[in-house]
Amino acid sequence: MKSEDVARYLHDHPEFFDQYAEMLTLVTLPDPHSGRAISITEKQLFNLRDKVRTLEAKLVELIGFGEENDSISDKVHGLAVALIAATDQAGVLRALYSHLGGAFAVPHVGLRLWGAGQGEGREFEAVADSVKAFASGLHRPYCGSVSGQDAALWFGDAATHLRSMTQVPLREADGICFGLLVMASEEPHRFYPELGTLYLERIGAMAAAALLRVAA
């Protein structure tokens, strides 16, 4: 008789251990942790404990994710309130820079506008056609390396130390891109390619709406 036959028989006859209950204590299995022989009942207990530990770890992880999302939501809400309260272009720009650099702790924030009002700040400096084309073609915020990204040059001498960035297109209601919000960091994993972009998209939408509202 092969082991497969035994396994099949036990599977097809679950009442076997009801009839021969003593077998549960007589049959022993090697403990993967200590190497000693243990009964089937003990094995089941060990397996159950392992599953409980795994579930506990997942629960802790989910709680951590929930707390992190709550924290981000609070920060986005704070930014939204500040943008709504701003009554002019300068106020909107202050709200963006102060909240992104403060509550969100983004070390480098850059913004360029080419279709929403006029001004003399760096936000209205000339933008390379390559950057405009890149921004217009984004279906979601870019997250990843600064390598090969022209917008990294906006940060001057600091650009050589940057390792990751996100580029958030700013669009009108009809989808036309009129600006680009860039956030960058010296940390290579701050804005990694697999990063979820839901909150970035919301920040971009709020910034775009506020900038268009106060456009000169």
Residue 98's pLDDT is: 97
Residue 163's pLDDT is: 97
- Which structure tokens are listed for 94? 């202050």
Ordered by where they begin, the domains of the chain are: 86-213 (3.30.450.40)
Question: pLDDT averaged over the chain?
Answer: 87
Please indicate, yes or no, whether the overall pTM of this predicted structure exceeds 0.75: no
**Could you report the average pLDDT of every consecutive run of 10 residues in the chain (216 residues)?**
72 71 64 63 75 79 73 93 95 97 96 86 93 96 96 95 98 95 97 94 97 87
* pLDDT tens, residue by residue, 86-116: 999 999 999 999 999 999 999 999 999 998 7
33-48 burial: b if 16+ Cβ within 10 Å, else e: eeeeebeeebbeeeee
Q: Which helix (H) or strand (E) holds 183?
A: strand 177-185
Residue 166, beta-bridge partner list:
143, 183
Residue 155's pLDDT is: 96
